Amino acid sequence: MEASSKASQEEKNKQIEKLQSKLDGLTSLLQKEKEAKEKQTLELNQTKAEISALKEKNNSIEALEKKLETLNTDLEKEKLKNEEKSNRIKELIIEVEYGKSLQVKINELLETIHNLQNENRPLAEMKERPERPTAPQIVIGFSNFKDKTQYDGEMKTKLTEIAKKFGMVVNEEKGDDDNVTHLICPEKTKTLKILTACTLCRWVGRAEWLLKCDEANAILDEAPFGFRRKYPPFIGMTVALEHEFKNEKSNATKVVYALELIKKGKGEIVEVSENPSFVLVSKVRNGPGVNLIWNDFLDMIVEERKLKRSMPTSPNPVSPRFSLHTEKSVSTKDVKVEKMELVEGIVPKKLFEEQKPKEAVNPTALRISAKESKSMELTETQPKNKLEQKRKEKEQKEQKEKEKKLKEKKEKEQKEKERKEKEQKEKERKEKELKEQKEKEQKEKEQ
């Protein structure tokens, strides 16, 4: 009995030992699982921190890229501005060297240089001096725009938008054309607006100028796209209207236009008996002095002719500025006459009295031979051609720089895109691993 009881006790002890061993094994397993879970939790937190840091880094990089792009844009604008200043100074120097009104041009040059220097001064220094007036603004006007032509309403709207984009003012007030600085119109047209702009020495040209400005995203030099008189067409002249011309009913509008254009062109209206520089007539006829029909009168305004410089041979002794010069025969309805060409002789003393009232002028010193005139014209065109060539080279250089910058920008964007894709893939991989780990833990718990 004692032997069976002892055997039973030993068996129980063995079972207890087995259970204890199994319990120890489970406890150890639980401990390991707990440590693994803590490790995974720590890795998860680290991954979240890394993702957050990457997001902050991306935001910082994007902010820096935007700032860099803004700085590059400002630098480009400043560069263009400095180049425009330099070109403007060169143009003024050429105008001073080859223009007629020397003192006026020198004053303009000094004023421009002073303004350019002020623009580069510190703000504190600028505040110590009174403000100087700013340069006149570009005021755009339009003339002879008609439907079913290249210059139609749609083109006018497009040009208006381009002008406003560059800060120009578009003149939309009827009858207020004197403030227009740049008039856009079709070629070979002579409206009152165009004639007025020419007499006021304003720029008159094609729509191509604004279209090219829009393409280049900058205000280009308007000279290649149009025409601007250097001086008013009738400066220093006296003009008379023939009695027959004034009294013809069909000429009523022409008379009004002529009086307005002569006045704005710095001419003086006198009577025929006062021996004027020229007489505006209905029909060309032989006689002393210079007679101009309406079309020739308009040509004087819209065409800044290269007048032949020579001594006057006019039979009119009181008007020495112009003489008759026969070029070829032309016929009218009633009479066959010789076509007259204006020939410039001695420059009127009045011009110099207005500019230099205290200086005496020797008329003989102002006479220029045809050979000297030709030499002057060639000398004047050379710097202009040189400037035009420099302007084209500058445009080509700017275009190449723009293309280079655009290429660099695209490459940079491509690299940034690849970097972001790589980061996104890395993020997805980590999230996938984390998800798989969680699923594994869940399965182990269920078991």
Question: Could you tell me which of 187, 182, 264 has the C-alpha nearest to residue 223?
Answer: 182
pLDDT tops 60 at residue 184: yes
Q: What is the mean pLDDT of residues 262-279?
A: 92
Q: What average pLDDT does the structure give for the chain?
A: 75
Tell me what pLDDT residue 80 has: 85
The residue ranking higher by pLDDT, 37 or 288, is 37
State pLDDT tens for residues 211-222. 999 999 999 999
Tell me what pLDDT residue 281 has: 92
What is the β-pairing status of strands 182-184 and 326-331? unpaired
Tell me what pLDDT residue 313 has: 34
Tell me what pLDDT residue 354 has: 35
Question: Could you tell me which of 37, 318, 276 has the C-alpha nearest to residue 258?
Answer: 276
Question: Could you tell me which of 45, 63, 43 has the C-alpha nearest to residue 55?
Answer: 63
Q: What is the mean pLDDT of residues 186-209?
A: 91
pLDDT band of residue 308 (cuts 50, 70, 90) is: very low
- Kindly state the tokens that stand for 310: 């020579």
State pLDDT tens for residues 57-85. 888 888 888 888 888 888 888 888 888 88
Q: Are 232 and 264 in contact (CB under 8 A)?
A: yes
In the chain, CATH 3.40.50.10190 covers 136-230
What's the CATH fold of domain 136-230? Rossmann fold (3.40.50)
Taking residue 175's Cβ as centre, other Cβ atoms within 10 Å add up to 5
Tell me what pLDDT residue 336 has: 32
What is the β-pairing status of strands 343-344 and 322-323? antiparallel
Tell me what pLDDT residue 241 has: 93
Tell me what pLDDT residue 256 has: 93
- Residue keyed to tokens 């070829």: 328
pLDDT tops 60 at residue 314: no
Rounded to two decimals, what is the model's pTM? 0.41
Tell me what pLDDT residue 238 has: 93
